[in-house]
Structure 1
Amino acid sequence: MIISELRPGLYRLRLGRYQAYAWRDGASVTLVDTGEAGSGPAIAAGLAELGLTPGNLDRVVLTHFHDDHTGSAAELASWGPVRIVAHALDAPVVRGERPGPPPNFTPFERDLHAQVAAGLVPAPPVRVDDEVRDGDVLDFGGGARVISTPGHTDGSLALHLPEHGVLLTGDIAAEHGGQVMFGVFHLDRAVAAESLRRLAELDVEVACFGHGEPVLGDASARLREAAALVTT
């Protein structure tokens, strides 16, 4: 299975080393992140498992500009009238107008990044149809509120679906070995820590991360535990 249902309307897509999430409102699909370049066929196969086609994809939301999240956005944009959404601060990088600043690696992170990103190719530039900012609400899932989570990148964002108790965190947080943790590879670790603390204040049951297994119950408590352990 490429795609699996986490709760009604919410799906996880396994895209090789990476992953994305989809929200389904009837025949309309919103995809959050796109995996690395070349993931389009796997995404199409995941939609087919739900009895859908690429024509059902109406929107792609990019949580930030890193290549493992935006890699296939240009391919998906060619499928039809798909709206590409990104935070206004990351949109110029997504469009290829300027390079994105690299993370400020800790010594441990530098070696880890060399391993996990081996072979990752740059994401092709893609248009951005909708530039969003903190507090904007997107028309899916009963209203998905954009939460700016700077620190991982300047324009990192999370999506909160309060009607469903769902949070999609991007890379501010992650899961590894059963533990929810502060993410890695940040541009500014202190600013990212504040972003995680902000997410930990939300009341959510489900948290979906850019990397690692989602939390499907009492996610708020798990996020608070992770935020309490962060040192900068």
Structure 2
Amino acid sequence: MNLAYPGHILQVRAPAINFYVLRDQEELYLIDAGFIGGLRLMQRALVRRNWNQFPIRGIIVTHGHLDHILNVKTIARRYGAWIAAPRLDAEQYAGRSNYPGQARVAQWLETFGRPLLGFQRFTPDRLLDDGDMLDVWQGLQAVHLPGHTAGHLGLYSPERRLLFSGDLFVSYRGAARLPPDIFNSDPPQIPTSVAAALRLQLDGVLPNHCDPSPPAEHLRRLRLLGAKLASSPSRD
């Protein structure tokens, strides 16, 4: 158990990407579903927390990159969970990538990675748009934060003043940085998305690519990054 995180959040840590399990009373909900080995790592983490007794009711996807959705269909089928995912990334759930510019590198990686890693296509039970509310965990609001992908969403808890920020930024070794442009479908949009995230009432941020620091520390780093981006020339 990572004591940096509140008791109702379980961070499933992996070498390439982390994802989150939320406990809502006697039910569990995932924020993304991890990459290689994600199912096994999740099951071990649930046993350690003694949450394996609770049913997984839903999987909420932040965006359609393969490292976030590789295990979605497997987990949904195994646990009978529903899937909610951004409407604008529907191509990726169907097993297709069409990224522009430098992000064609990510497109190539996904094209070869899907069959190699056994990706299973899926159709979300609910497609999410900006402002949509999910009636879990005292309310989670979808916040459109495009740039990484067209449909990239953050998931905001007004009650807890926490933002699950997906891949809006990465947070390691004391600093927040933008993801490399080979993974961003529209890099010039990202500073605007960072500014939009920072306008929310926040006590903490939980990225998918980060060290084990507490949510308040990731927020501090994001604020520093936001200030730097605001003072920098346009990336256009």
**How far off its partner does 1:227 sit?**
1.6
User: Mean alpha-carbon deviation: is it higher for 212-221 or for 134-143?
Assistant: 212-221
**How far off its partner does 1:38 sit?**
4.0
Mapped to 2, the partners of 1:186 and 1:148 lie a distance apart of: 15
CA 1:4 to 1:86, structure 2 compared with 1: closer, same or farther past 3 Å? Answer: farther
Indicate whether 1:168 and 2:164 are aligned. yes
Query: 1:101-128 deviations in whole A, cap 9, x for unaligned?
Result: 236439xxx7xx8xxx89x932321221
Aligned length: 221
2:6 maps to what in 1? 7
Pairing of 1:1-232 with structure 2 (within 5 A): 6-53=5-52, 56-96=55-95, 99-102=96-99, 104-105=101-102, 121-122=113-114, 123-184=119-180, 185-213=183-211, 214-217=213-216, 220-230=219-229, 231=232, 232=235
Mapped to 2, the partners of 1:89 and 1:77 lie a distance apart of: 21
Mapped to 2, the partners of 1:186 and 1:158 lie a distance apart of: 15
User: Mean alpha-carbon deviation: is it higher for 129-138 or for 36-45?
Assistant: 36-45
Mapped to 1, the partners of 2:34 and 2:6 lie a distance apart of: 21
5+ long unaligned stretches in structure 2? none
* AA in 1 matched with 2:164: L
SS of the residue corresponding to residue 222 of structure 2 reads helix
Which is helix-richer, 1 or 2? 2
Mapped to 1, the partners of 2:42 and 2:113 lie a distance apart of: 18
Asked if 2 retains the 8 angstrom alpha-carbon contact of 1:168 and 1:207, the reply is yes
Under a length normalisation based on structure 2, what TM-score does the superposition of the two structures give? 0.83
* AA in 2 matched with 1:78: R
Stretches of 4+ moved more than 6 A in 1?
A: none
Mapped to 2, the partners of 1:189 and 1:228 lie a distance apart of: 17
**How far off its partner does 1:219 sit?**
5.3
Mapped to 2, the partners of 1:20 and 1:62 lie a distance apart of: 10
Mapped to 2, the partners of 1:30 and 1:172 lie a distance apart of: 21
Over the matched positions of the two proteins, sequence identity in percent amounts to 24
5+ long unaligned stretches in structure 1? none
Mapped to 2, the partners of 1:24 and 1:224 lie a distance apart of: 28
* AA in 1 matched with 2:31: V
Asked if 1 retains the 8 angstrom alpha-carbon contact of 2:4 and 2:214, the reply is no
**How far off its partner does 1:218 sit?**
6.4
CA 1:55 to 1:126, structure 2 compared with 1: closer, same or farther past 3 Å? Answer: farther
Asked if 2 retains the 8 angstrom alpha-carbon contact of 1:15 and 1:43, the reply is no
